[in-house]
Amino acid sequence: MNTSSATDPTDGLRDISNEVDLLSRMIATPSFSRDEGRTADIIYEYLACHGAEPQRHVNNIWALSPGFDPSRPTLMLNSHHDTVRPAASYTRDPFMPSVEEGSLYGLGSNDAGASAVSLISVFLELRESSLPFNLLLAVTAEEEVGGENGMRAFLPMLAGRGIKVDCAIVGEPTGMQPAVGERGLVVLDCVTPGVTGHAARGEGINAIYRAMEDIELLRTYEFPSVSQVLGPVSLNVTQINAGWQHNAIPDECRWVTDIRTTDAQSNEEVVSLLRSRVRWSTLTPRSTRVRASVIEESHPLVQTVIGLGLTPFVSPTTSDMSLMLGFPSLKIGPGQSSRSHSADEYICLNEIAEAIDMYGSIIKNLQLTKD
C-alpha cells in the first residue's frame, strides 16, 4: 500500500497510523456479506493485541469494557465490516488499499470501514475510563443484506447472556452529523389477475388495466397518520410486467411497489391498509423486518450531540438501526453516504481522525441513567 501521504492531511490531528493500517488490512481482505470470516479474524486479533478481550458470535466481533456492571446502563458502539460487491465501473483494484492526496481508496473504506476502525479506536481509548455506563463494542456482519447471522443473531445472543443494551451509536457514513431517524422499507410483490382473449375481438379482461386502476388507488392514498420526524410514507411503483404477445389480452400483470415506512404505522399496518385499498390485486410483502427508527430529541444522546454543535437530520438510507428494537439508536460516522456502493470508494484520512475525536467527545459528555 502506498502510504507516503498518509500523515499529511492529518497534521495537527491525532496519529491514526494504527487505524489506517487496520482499515487497509480490512480493504485488502474481501468481506462480502455472509462471507466476512477473514475480516472478523483481523478485527478479533487487533482487539486482542490491544488489550481488549474480544468475543465472537458467528462473524460478529464484540467486547465489553472492563468491570461490566449490569446495574449500570450500557452504550453499544456498533458498525459493520461486511461490504457489497464492487461496482462494475471501478477503475481501481477495489482490494488494493491506496492513500492518495489524503484519501484512502478501497472497497468498504467509506461504508463502513472508517466508522468501524474509529469506534474500535475510541473503545480501546475509553474502555478503562471512569464512565457512568458500560461500553459494548460490536463490529457486526451481514448488515448490507440484513442477514440472519448479523445483528439479527447478535442481539438475541446478548439477551441470552443477560446483557441489556440501553442505547447505541451506529457508525455509518453521515459526514459526522447525527441521524435521528431513518425510514423503514417494505417491498410489495403485486399480482393482478385478468382473463386472456384475442385482442382483435376485444375478448377477455385486461390485467394491465386492472393493475393501472389499483396502482392509481395506491398512488393517491393518504395514510391516516404522518410521522412528526420522518414525514409521510413514500410509495412508488418501480417495476411492471405483463403480456407475452401483441395480439393476446394479458391475463396477469406483475408489479413491484417500494414503500419507505415511518414510525406512524408499523410495517404490518401499512401492508394491511394498502391491501384494503386495492380492488383486484394481491399484495405480498417480501419482508416487514426493516422498520423505521426514530430517537426522541429529549434523549441524552441527541442532547449531547446538539450540545457539541452537531445538527440532527433524517437519514435517507437504512442500516441496522431498523433491527434495534427496544432501545434508541443514533447513526453517525465519518464519510458520506453518496460514496457508499459507488465505484472507487474512498475515505478522507482527516475524517477518521475527526471522527475518533468526536466519538470520544460524545461518550465523555453523555449522561445516561438506567431505565
| Residue 341: predicted pLDDT | 80
pTM above 0.85, yes or no: yes
| Helices within the chain (DSSP H only) | 17-27, 37-49, 114-126, 151-160, 207-219, 267-277, 300-307, 349-365
CB atoms within 10 A of CB 336: 16
What is residue 254's predicted lDDT score, i.e. its pLDDT? Answer: 98
Q: Do residues 156 and 45 both lie within one domain?
A: yes
Instruction: Report the pLDDT value the prediction gives residue 325, as an integer from 0 to 100.
Output: 86
**Residues 190 and 175 both lie in one domain:** no
The CATH number linked to 208 is 3.30.70.360
Tell me, yes or no, whether 128 and 268 share the same domain.
no
- Which grid coordinates are listed for 216? 392509481
Q: Which residues contact 67 (CB under 8 A, 6 or more apart)?
A: none
Same domain, 50 and 67: yes
The answer to whether 291 and 233 have CB atoms below 8 angstroms apart is no
Q: How many Cα neighbours within 13 Å face the side chain of 253?
A: 22
pLDDT in tens, 304-348: 999 999 999 999 888 999 899 889 999 999 999 888 788 899 999
Q: Which cell is 18 given?
A: 494504527
Q: Is residue 145 part of a domain?
A: yes
Kindly report which listed range (208-212, 239-243, 289-293) carries the lowest average pLDDT score: 289-293
234 and 353 inside one domain: no
Residue 9 has pLDDT above 60, yes or no: no
- Together in a domain, 210 and 66: no
Domain boundary among 260, 285, 310: 285
- pLDDT tens by residue, 167-209: 999 999 999 999 999 999 999 999 999 999 999 998 999 999 9
Q: How many domains does the chain have?
A: 2
Q: How far apart are CA 250 and CA 320, in angstroms?
A: 41
**Cβ burial 193-218 (10 Å sphere, 16+ → b, else e):** ebebbebeeeebebbbebbeebbeeb
Same domain, yes or no, for 165 and 208?
Answer: no
Average pLDDT over residues 134-155: 94
Q: Please indicate, yes or no, if residue 2 is contained in any of the structural domains.
A: no
The whole-angstrom separation of Cα 24 and Cα 228 is 41
Q: What is the mean pLDDT of residues 87-107?
A: 94
Structural domain boundaries enclosing 270: 184-285
Tens digit of pLDDT for each residue in 244-268? Answer: 999 999 999 999 999 999 999 999 9
Please check whether residues 178 and 246 belong to one and the same domain: no
Query: Would you say 331 and 319 are in contact if contact means Cβ atoms under 8 Å apart?
Result: yes
How many whole angstroms separate alpha carbon 125 and alpha carbon 289?
35
CATH of the domain at 107: 3.40.630.10
Which of 242, 269, 285 lies at the terminal end of a domain, its last residue?
285
Same domain, 160 and 52: yes
Whether 92 shows a pLDDT value over 50: the answer reads: yes
The Cα–Cα gap between 248 and 202 comes to 9
- Residues 188 and 178 reside in one and the same domain: no
Residue 318's pLDDT is 87
User: What pLDDT sits at residue 6?
Assistant: 46
Write 251-254 long-range contacts (CB < 8 A, 24+).
251/193, 251/194, 251/195, 251/196, 251/204, 251/205, 251/207, 252/191, 252/192, 252/193, 252/194, 252/207, 253/191, 253/192, 253/194, 253/207, 253/208, 253/210, 253/211, 254/189, 254/190, 254/191, 254/192
Average pLDDT over residues 288-292: 92
Torsion of CA 214, 215, 221, 225, to 10 degrees: 110
* Domain limit, last residue, from 228, 253, 285: 285
Q: Which residues does residue 253 pair with via DSSP β-bridges, in sequence order?
A: 192, 242
Angle value at C-alpha 149, between 48 and 135, nearest 5 degrees: 45
Residue type present at position 115: S
Alpha helices in 31-150 (DSSP H): 37-49, 114-126
Query: What pLDDT score was predicted for residue 5?
Result: 41
Q: 207 and 344 share a domain?
A: no
Q: What is the pLDDT of residue 291?
A: 92
